[in-house]
Structure 1
Amino acid sequence: MKKKVLLLLILIIVLISCHGVLSNKQEKISSTPKYKKDFIIAQKSDVKTLDPQRSIDTVSNHVIDAMFEPLVKLDIDGNIQPALATSWERLDECTMLFHLREGVKFHNGDTLSPEDVKYSLEKAAVSPQTSYLLNMIKEVEIVDSNSVKIITSYPFGALLKHLASTAASIVNKKAATLAGEEFFKNPVGTGAFTFESWIAGDRITLNSFKDYWGEKPKVEKVIFRSIPEVSNRMIALETEEIDASFDIGIMDREALINHKDLSLIEVESSAQLYLSFDQTNPLFKDIRVRQAISYAIDNKTLAEAVFRGSASPANSPLPSAVAGHKDIDYYKQNIELAKKLLAEAEYPNGFPLKLWVNDESTRVDMCVIIQGQLKEIGIDVDIEVFEWGTFLTKTLEHNKPLYLFSWSGSTGDADGILYPMFHSSQRDVSANRSNYFSPKVDSLLDMARTSIDEEKRLSLYKEAQEEIQKDLPHYTLVYNKLNMGINKKVKGLTLSSTGDINLADISILEN
């Protein structure tokens, strides 16, 4: 009898123990975090193109970079890392050998080949939109089934950084050749995400690429939403309609800093905002008019009143975050001198002037302040606001009025800023929309390009900044930081100084 009771007690203890273990396991299972399958991110406008060799705007590049890859890439600190090339070596001043990653698949199932690399880079080198970054490439020579030589027309010190740009992305030769001008409608790359759909003015949807050579993305879909109004982007963040947003507004930036559910990412950048004086407009051919407008503006007020800590007053055509920047004796507001210059230019009573800007609220706010400042010297400003795509097209026209524009170097190198903005070869095609031409500046920028001596390059860029400042083809207003607002459930997202994000590495907690 006692044995039976003892056995019964042992059985009860075992059952209780098992129940405890099962309960423990159930707790562990239920506490395992669940992750969202879709990542939704807002941008300030719709993209212009999905063809990497035709893109010059950041909004388009964000989407392109998710689908395409270059031979090398920049990490978060701006250092060169392998991408579609695993290693490389310089053979002489004008030749570099690249060894390609084996077994890489394109989204259409084709395997990456040297022919794809040759086609992509030689196309980018002559494209009107991207040649400013890669026109030094003379030829891409196929060495064998896994290697290519990139031969430049002259020594080029910043080649690796330029090869890390969106413009240098490798496309599928077969798909691009068949599609021709329509390639942007069905882009085929090797990136972590594949193209699904593009609803113009609303969204672009990408899917995780199951045959991606690298670490597989943690999300199944990435959806880029076009939300032009900055306040609507913030509302979408707060209501969890989106998970993240580029280009957070100034007031929203302050709200994000102490928000319980959202956070702010902000980095110094190579971005700048400036007023451009089109040299084909007779009004702006007189440097005294350009100087008068510049002396009438207080860019410190613009930085403080509009940006509230997310920008700094400019003092050179090259942002302070870029190597080679030189502090220059810059224009400081001087109303009396501005009036004197206008009188000397035979505009003693000022004149009416249109000011173009795209429909981003921060930039419109800047223009309103500029409007008031120019009023003090008799210039009556009429602000015209355009949708981003329309604005990009209109600013390529000749005989333009004053306009507010931005540029951000995609390479992190001075060449990627000063060359497209000020070299005469870039008129009508890139950032030189002021149609500026200076033989001396062209020569300085060309010499800097052809040197692989970094100290010499930086010295030449400093001299170029001084010459550009004297000529005043545009007036740099502020160097603005890049920012993003994100839900705190988003993990692993980083933003680089060139505006790149790491979509393949992010995850989003469901609860």
Structure 2
Amino acid sequence: MKREISLLLAMVMCVSTLVACGKKPEEAGTADDTVVVYTADIFNTMNPYETTANSDQSVFDQVYETLTVTQDDGTVVPCLAREWTVSEDCLEYVFHLEEGVKFHNGETLTAGDVVFSMEQYLANPAKNNFVNMIEAVEAIDANTVRFVLDKVTPLFLVYTNELPILSEKFVTEKNGDISEAACGTGPYRLTSIDLATAAMLERNEDYRLGPAAISKVELRYIGDKSTAAVQLETGDIDVMRMDPSQLVNIEGSDKFTVETVQTLKTAILAINTTVAPLDNKLVRQAMSYAVDKNSIIMVAYEGYAAPARLQASDANCFGVDFSDAEDFSYNPEKARQLLSEAGYPNGL
């Protein structure tokens, strides 16, 4: 990979996992019109304000929509909110909703649904990081919602990406028990779920942006990755995220489409800087120069990583700039020099 991601001290960041398709794109879903996607974890609940699990989110991303969405380049764009205004002091956000948006139960989205949804997030701890700055939320009219924040929050619009909008009527009719049910405005409906095995999704034919290309999707949990890889090879799974070590039988085969993607993981070495000799900056710098990160990448990550320069990553941190980041590439001579300067000419 060409990207240098991050590391504060001297280790490496794993930057690659792989997505493989068990059928060629033109063949996927043709057998029974269902695309099967591997999920690495069991499902916990279909209640968006009680979970942050990736497995649950994989369902929410298809069934629900949010006020805004963030594009790959970091730009926040409208979703259920067609536009918004921000007060001069950045403490008040007014969202104007798309009109005529339908939930899967046929109800029309209103500002009341947005207020209801936010009240659930505020009352439950799971999404606290995304709502703890909200002081008040109110419906100005049927299609306008005002948020008042208690502190300036530059990423507030990004945080709204994490807050699916629920149908107040649907949740109320379920007496708040939506652990195995869902009703959003998204491109897919949840038709059934077994939290321990699979979630079944079906295309929302009335979706406001037009029906999705794939008719049905199964998000299937398989506890053993090796078993999942076998199912990928046999065609029982169409899409799977896998580790580099599982690629032996996949890469190079014309049966699969393989894409390498950068993960959000940075591997670091954490040390106690209050204990001698690690309280000496020169010693810590020497350690950084003494670690052969490229060799670690080849052995521990099978080449699917890049040397890190900061603990922050341009893949998951907004505004990361490497221009002032010192390059601690492997340099044993430099390490020895720094140790000598620190008073350890013969090493630690």
Assess same fold via TM > 0.5.
Answer: yes
AA paired with 1:59? S
The aligned counterpart of 2:157 is 160
Name the CA shift for 1:179/1:316 in 2 (closer, same or farther; >3 Å).
farther
The offset of 1:39, in angstroms, is 1.2
The aligned counterpart of 1:486 is none
The aligned counterpart of 1:140 is 137
The 2-side partners of 1:48 and 1:312 are apart by 34
1:317 aligns with 2:316: no
Query: Which of 205, 209, 222 is matched with 2:200 structurally?
Result: 205
Query: Which of 188, 194, 212 is matched with 1:193 structurally?
Result: 188
Query: Which of 221, 228, 246 is matched with 1:226 structurally?
Result: 221
The offset of 1:181, in angstroms, is 5.6
AA paired with 2:197? D
AA paired with 2:252? N
Q: Is the 8 A contact 2:29 2:35 kept in 1?
A: no
The aligned counterpart of 2:117 is 120
AA paired with 1:130? K
The 2-side partners of 1:298 and 1:179 are apart by 57
1:78 aligns with 2:97: no
- Percent identity between the aligned chains? 24
Query: 1:37-91 CA deviation, whole Å, 9 max, x = no partner?
Result: 2111001121222222222222221111111110111234332222111112223
Query: Number of paired residues?
Result: 296
The aligned counterpart of 1:50 is 46
The offset of 1:267, in angstroms, is 2.6
Q: Is the 8 A contact 2:83 2:96 kept in 1?
A: yes
Name the CA shift for 1:34/1:230 in 2 (closer, same or farther; >3 Å).
closer
Q: Is the 8 A contact 1:136 1:152 kept in 2?
A: yes
The aligned counterpart of 1:89 is 85
1:236 aligns with 2:239: no
AA paired with 1:54? E
1:67 aligns with 2:66: no
Larger Rg: 1
Structure 2, unaligned runs of 5 or more: 1-25, 333-348
Name the CA shift for 1:213/1:314 in 2 (closer, same or farther; >3 Å).
same
Query: 1:427-462 CA deviation, whole Å, 9 max, x = no partner?
Result: xxxxxxxxxxxxxxxxxxxxxxxxxxxxxxxxxxxx
Structure 1, unaligned runs of 5 or more: 1-31, 278-283, 335-511
Between stretches 125-134 and 150-159, larger displacement belongs to 125-134
Q: Aligned with 2:178: secondary structure? A: helix
The 2-side partners of 1:288 and 1:228 are apart by 42
Name the CA shift for 1:80/1:35 in 2 (closer, same or farther; >3 Å).
same
The aligned counterpart of 1:392 is none
Q: Aligned with 2:179: secondary structure? A: helix
The 1-side partners of 2:28 and 2:219 are apart by 22
TM-score normalised over the length of structure 2: 0.73
The 2-side partners of 1:171 and 1:276 are apart by 41
Name the CA shift for 1:309/1:194 in 2 (closer, same or farther; >3 Å).
same
The 2-side partners of 1:329 and 1:53 are apart by 42
Q: Is the 8 A contact 1:95 1:150 kept in 2?
A: yes
Q: Aligned with 2:185: secondary structure? A: coil
The 1-side partners of 2:261 and 2:128 are apart by 28
Q: Is the 8 A contact 1:318 1:325 kept in 2?
A: no
Query: 1:143-197 CA deviation, whole Å, 9 max, x = no partner?
Result: 11111122211222111111122xx110112222444563221122111111122
The 1-side partners of 2:310 and 2:106 are apart by 48
The offset of 1:205, in angstroms, is 0.8
Q: Aligned with 1:109: secondary structure? A: coil
The 2-side partners of 1:258 and 1:304 are apart by 20
The offset of 1:258, in angstroms, is 2.1
Query: 1:271-299 CA deviation, whole Å, 9 max, x = no partner?
Result: 4456899xxxxxx9x9659x79x979976
The 2-side partners of 1:102 and 1:275 are apart by 51
Structural mapping, 1:18-417, within 5 Å: 36=30, 37-92=33-88, 93-165=90-162, 168-179=163-174, 182-246=177-241, 248-253=242-247, 255-272=249-266, 288=275, 302-321=296-315, 322=317, 323-324=319-320, 327=325
Q: Aligned with 1:182: secondary structure? A: coil
The 2-side partners of 1:172 and 1:304 are apart by 50
The offset of 1:223, in angstroms, is 0.3
Q: Is the 8 A contact 1:122 1:139 kept in 2?
A: no
Query: 1:229-282 CA deviation, whole Å, 9 max, x = no partner?
Result: 222222222211011012x121334654422011222233434456899xxxxx
The offset of 1:330, in angstroms, is 8.0
The aligned counterpart of 2:341 is none
Q: Aligned with 2:177: secondary structure? A: helix
Superposed CA RMSD: 3.6
Query: 1:378-411 CA deviation, whole Å, 9 max, x = no partner?
Result: xxxxxxxxxxxxxxxxxxxxxxxxxxxxxxxxxx
